[in-house]
Structure 1
């Protein structure tokens, strides 16, 4: 693959995890008002996984995977889609959604420090600045609402932190794991395994199951978009990026998604956007720039040069 085509694919992939995943806040809100969260996720990922396998067959893409690749796919599906996504939605029953979004914004920080602990990776100054700006921006975004926690709130907070940790570790794991070489197929296996786990969890907590035929047209339409775009397109892009760019750059979607959700809420649901929201969006995107930028921070590079010159003297 030539460098130009690869660059275009990376840009499109980032667009997918930034904008498409940002829209899933709105879509999930529509569906979860009628459908139990774990049951919702199991249907979403099962349908997406089966569609991926069907498309792969039509395109004559091999579905073969070794035993270790299947095991890794099952683990990745659990870390991302079962715990990182499904359990997160379940925990929202006990925690204010704004506060949950603030916790989720710590994902890039989790990724950077996990990479430091597990891989010995050096934490770059611009990455730290980007993470700090991201957390500040997210705080500005959600602090406009009064965060109220009931007596079960502390449990919800702990669970959400573990969900963010699960997604962060999953990002690092997938970047190095032996998975099916085709990103499309790898995504399909992760989704099918995740759907099986989610069905088991849904039955365990005794969720109410309702036939999709009984859902409203809005819920059915939202689910279709979640399956095709939120699942197949965006998650395949996510798996692709984890193999092509640094994990901390991929994790910046945790900052951009809430901003996209904010503006979609304004456009679709006529929700008010305040000046503080706009400032928060600017701070968030600036944080993303610092993490994604390949340029060195001039002020620090000059400082290092002067320090070296003084040592030579």
Structure 2
């Protein structure tokens, strides 16, 4: 595999669009929640995306068979992926889309802790541990609230579910990195996740009585956006970018997503952004930046030191 190139203007434009799409998914789910339950909509979008991805794989005559040693890890990432979006879908019933986006994107924190435990060469530096502490302090501040106690209790429960979604996402990363799944094509790994999520979330929606659909135009537009744009095209764009550009630099730009999520929630859904949430979200994002971007930050610090000397 060739050497990854540094970011250019095209990559930045792609990442800007990717982060905007990923940030808007929670907002769109919340916007049509009165017409279709978020969990059921997520199940349907993964059914659409899995069908499209399977057609793409078949068109390119790619293999989807698993070696015996990868079958259990593949099941695990399917379960974790499903839990991530089950928690997210339920979170959106109680909390704001902006809150859900920020807490969902705490996943690098949980991934870094898991990789530190599982993989020897993924040990964290002091700067990363400081980022962990800062992010958890930000979470504590973001969880604080005031005003209506019953409303705060519902939002707090939704925030906690969104945090669990972030933890499940981080655990998925650990399983992929620590097993033979890391050597598989990204489209193949994604297909297993989509299929398991479609089946399990569909059954959950049926069991919990969340399968009713009010067939207004906004619902069909949302399903098309989530199934085709978010879960299919955006994921493929991300994996394509990873094959051409440096993952560390792409990761730095991905921090635009929670920022966009907060802004879109405030603008589109008129969500109130509490001062404590702004402060807490700032701590979370900076902490994640220190954890995930420590390599790039160290490189920039080295260049600055060399320039001064």
TM-score (norm 2): 0.71
Spell out the pairing of 1:119-268 with structure 2 (5 A cutoff): 119-120=119-120, 121-132=122-133, 134=135, 148-149=149-150, 159-179=161-181, 181-210=184-213, 214-236=214-236, 245=247, 253=254, 256-268=256-268
Gaps of 5+ in 1: 303-313
Distance 1:11 1:146, change over 3 A: farther
**Superimposed CA distance per residue, residues 121-148 of structure 1 (whole angstroms, 9 cap, x where no aligned partner):** 3212332344455556677778687584
Q: d(CA) in 2 for partners of 1:256 and 1:221?
A: 25
Distance 1:278 1:37, change over 3 A: closer
Partner residue in 2 for 1:66: 66
Q: d(CA) in 2 for partners of 1:116 and 1:146?
A: 40
Worse overlay, 129-138 or 184-193: 129-138
Check whether the contact 1:187–1:236 (CA below 8 A) recurs between aligned residues: no
Deviation at 1:196?
0.8
- The number of residue pairs the alignment matches comes to 294
**Superimposed CA distance per residue, residues 182-224 of structure 1 (whole angstroms, 9 cap, x where no aligned partner):** 22232123201210111222222232333xxx52212211221
Check whether the contact 2:138–2:281 (CA below 8 A) recurs between aligned residues: yes
Check whether the contact 2:111–2:174 (CA below 8 A) recurs between aligned residues: yes
Max Rg structure = 1
Check whether the contact 1:96–1:147 (CA below 8 A) recurs between aligned residues: no
Partner residue in 2 for 1:309: none
Q: d(CA) in 1 for partners of 2:159 and 2:271?
A: 26
- Matched position secondary structure for 1:32: coil
Q: d(CA) in 2 for partners of 1:162 and 1:103?
A: 8
Check whether the contact 1:44–1:226 (CA below 8 A) recurs between aligned residues: yes
Task: Supply the RMSD in Å over aligned alpha carbons.
Answer: 4.4
Gaps of 5+ in 2: none
**Superimposed CA distance per residue, residues 213-254 of structure 1 (whole angstroms, 9 cap, x where no aligned partner):** x522122112211112221133345667899847xx85995x
Partner residue in 2 for 1:54: 55
Q: d(CA) in 2 for partners of 1:240 and 1:147?
A: 46
Distance 1:115 1:293, change over 3 A: closer
TM-score (norm 1): 0.71
Check whether the contact 2:23–2:260 (CA below 8 A) recurs between aligned residues: yes
Q: d(CA) in 2 for partners of 1:217 and 1:65?
A: 39
Check whether the contact 1:94–1:156 (CA below 8 A) recurs between aligned residues: yes
